[in-house]
Amino acid sequence: MIIGDNLAEKLAKGLNLPFIKVKEVVFKDGEVKPILSRQEKSEKGIVLLQKKEKENINTYIIKYYLLLEKLSTFIKNLTVIIPYFPYARQDKVFQTGEPLSSLYLARLIEKNAFQIITFNFHEHRQKVENLFSKKIYNFSLFNFIKEKLKKENKISQNPLIIGPDEESKRFVLDFIQNDNFPFFIFQKKRDIKTNKVQFFYEKEKLKNLIKNYKEIIIVDDIISSGETIKKIQDIILSFKQKNKIKLVFIHPIYGDNTIKLLKKFGFSKIYTTNTIENQFYFLDFVDVLKEKAKNLNLF
């Protein structure tokens, strides 16, 4: 059976599995109480909750935790699907006194999980499998977006793919896969005290690429304030070549507000997913999940 929200119901229909709706009550002080529409014992269960656009990320995690604790009392093996896994960026103690948040949250979620499924977990200094003691599937959505773009003729035959920093190189390569697209990766340095970012790149190499490729696609996993992407866009535009600059990313941290902010920056097109609730998504991760479930016998 599948337990969760509207997207969980869609997954249940796609896999022909029974569905249990999770309703919730949010009290005036912010406390949250997830409520199952019904309760029944089962050997296996699948839990899926999408973070809502205006939902506090901490409320989202507490709701998951409370739900998993409840479900573990009558379901033996729980598969936990968290489309966007928060706190992954804090995978290192940068300054004395900081928590190792990614590890702590992994321990909290896996406590009642048989296995965990997520999408484009923000791996930087730590590999996702090093944070979890339970089996975790970290599916990437980049190539699925690329293939859908090709199918719908929304991408040229030879675009230039750009990654804003070293860690985005794997996103770029995942996006490209079997296509022989040219790519360019910026180097980024962030001051952990001031949070200011500097970019380093081979100016002449980038200038020639931008001159030769009219369609540019910037690829990244998470966008919140949009500051990093805006700086990359400004560098590209500084060469005055009138390129079409498109943006592909997975997790819109602030939902619709993230997309609205990016649209103000003047990107030619913006393509994202619904791992976090938003009305502008291009790729539905549930469709990918249904395909993965059938091919890998996940459930």
- Return the pLDDT at 296: 83
The answer to whether 233 and 245 are in contact (CB under 8 A) is yes
**Mean pLDDT, range 176-205, rounded to an integer:** 87
Distance between CA atoms of residues 266 and 263, nearest Å = 5
- Return the pLDDT at 84: 97
- Return the pLDDT at 225: 86
**Domain range annotation of the chain:** 2-140+284-296, 142-271
Evaluated on CA atoms 151, 154, 158, 159, the torsion sign reads negative
Give the number of other CB atoms < 10 A from CB of residue 26: 13
User: Which whole-number Å values give the CA distances from 264 to 161, 260, 269, in the listed order?
Assistant: 22, 6, 11
Where in the chain does DSSP place strands (E)? 2-4, 19-26, 32-36, 42-48, 75-82, 115-119, 135-139, 160-163, 183-185, 187-190, 197-200, 215-223, 244-252, 269-271
- How many Cα atoms are found within 13 Å in the side-chain-facing hemisphere of 67? 33
pLDDT in tens, 225-264: 898 999 999 999 999 998 999 999 999 999 999 999 999 9
Amino acid sitting at position 124? H
| CATH fold label, 2-140+284-296 | Rossmann fold (3.40.50)
137 alpha carbon, distance to own chain's centre: 13
Torsion region of 274: left, alpha or beta (phi above 0 gives left; psi -120 to 50 gives alpha): alpha
The answer to whether 19 and 1 are in contact (CB under 8 A) is yes
pLDDT in tens, 45-84: 999 999 999 999 999 999 999 999 999 999 999 999 999 9
Q: Is the pLDDT of residue 195 over 80?
A: no
Span of 104-108, 126-130, 214-218 with lowest mean pLDDT: 126-130
**For helices 101-110 and 57-71, angle between their N-to-C axes, nearest 10 degrees:** 30
- Return the pLDDT at 6: 96
Distance between CA atoms of residues 72 and 112, nearest Å = 6
Domain 142-271 has CATH 3.40.50.2020: yes
- Return the pLDDT at 91: 80
pLDDT in tens, 129-174: 889 999 999 999 999 999 999 999 999 999 999 999 998 999 999 9
- Return the pLDDT at 189: 83
- Return the pLDDT at 89: 83
pLDDT class for 123, splitting at 50, 70, 90? confident
- Return the pLDDT at 200: 87
- Return the pLDDT at 188: 83
- Return the pLDDT at 93: 79
The answer to whether 80 and 113 are in contact (CB under 8 A) is yes
Distance between CA atoms of residues 223 and 238, nearest Å = 22
